[in-house]
Amino acid sequence: MVRGVTASYGRWLFWNRECGQLTDNVKPESLAVIERVQAFVSHLQASGNKPATIRHRLMGLERMLAVIAPRFDRTALKSIKSEFSKSGDRRAKRARIQDADVLVKFAEVLASDAEADASRDLVRSAVRYRDALQIMLLAYRPMRLKNFASLRIGHELVCQEGQWTLDIPKSATKRGNAYDPIVPTRVVKYLDRYVTYYRKELAKSQYTGDAFWVSFVATPQAENSIRHQVSRLTSFRFGQSMTPHLFRDAAATTIATQIPETIRMAPLILGNRGQESIEVHYNLALRADADLRYNAGLDAFESDGEAPKAKKQAPS
């Protein structure tokens, strides 16, 4: 959070400097008048920032001012911030999320299809196999896209005696925590196949670097390309797209609904994500289960003409 606040505040200062407003004699809080903040918002909008991002920038500015100028009146700043949605419709977001096991099975089908078509179009099959592996690995190890896209063989992805391990240093993670889980056995055979065959086909002789994900034009695959491919394939299969970031929600939801007794392990799977976020998924899972039980009770009442009898519980 600290890094996010400082980054947002840094963007605010940089923009003011570019506008010629930031000088040695100007107090930072004197720049945060409503007219300048509104101009900053217009700049962010013109640069293509989404409402949630703009809110994040304004929140960073507000929190930094609370530290360096605690007596500064931030009422106007809070008012402008409130105009931007904190996030999208949570119900729509939940509708897009598939359970992790469903995503893994989908990835296995994609990989099988890619193998079957390899004799007809090897490059196309290599791309499809790569995409399948990405979906599978994200389902098991839902890391942030920046880290996922920058995986390198022998660096962030290491193989020792047939066992693959992720090794992302704390300096490269958002929360400053190292992320070094073992790649699940179910994924290893697909990963080995990609490295020994399909990745070589994509790289050809044109790319000799160590980037793990390679594009069809023999270059390291960019973040936007990964996001596009994963979103496109999940949209085609499930009717609604899942971005790589939503795989983190999928993992948390799957743990909360299918193995709730292990809910406290979720932050470790997600790379030390805050427990508060996991609690949200757990509560949503409980509510969804309650909804299903209630619906089943009403359905039984309507079909039988009488309320369902409660099961007798053994004395404790």
Q: What is the mean pLDDT of the chain?
A: 80
pLDDT value at 215 more than 80: yes
55 vs 136, more confident: 136
List, as one string, the DSSP characters of the chain: -HHHHHHHHHHHHHHHHHTT---TT--GGGG--HHHHHHHHHHHHHTT--HHHHHHHHHHHHHHHHHH-TTS--HHHHHHHHTS-SSS-HHHHHHHPPPHHHHHHHHHHHHHHHHHHTTT-HHHHHHHHHHHHHHHHHHHS---HHHHHT-BBTTTEEEETTEEEE-B-GGGSTTS--B-PBPPHHHHHHHHHIIIIIHHHHHTTT--S-BSSB-TTSSBPPHHHHHHHHHHHHHHHHSS---TTHHHHHHHHHHHHH-GGGGGGHHHHTTS--HHHHHHHHHHHHHHHHHHHHHHHHHHHHHHSSPPPPPPPPP-
pLDDT band for position 92 (50/70/90)? low
Structure confidence at residue 133 (pLDDT): 98
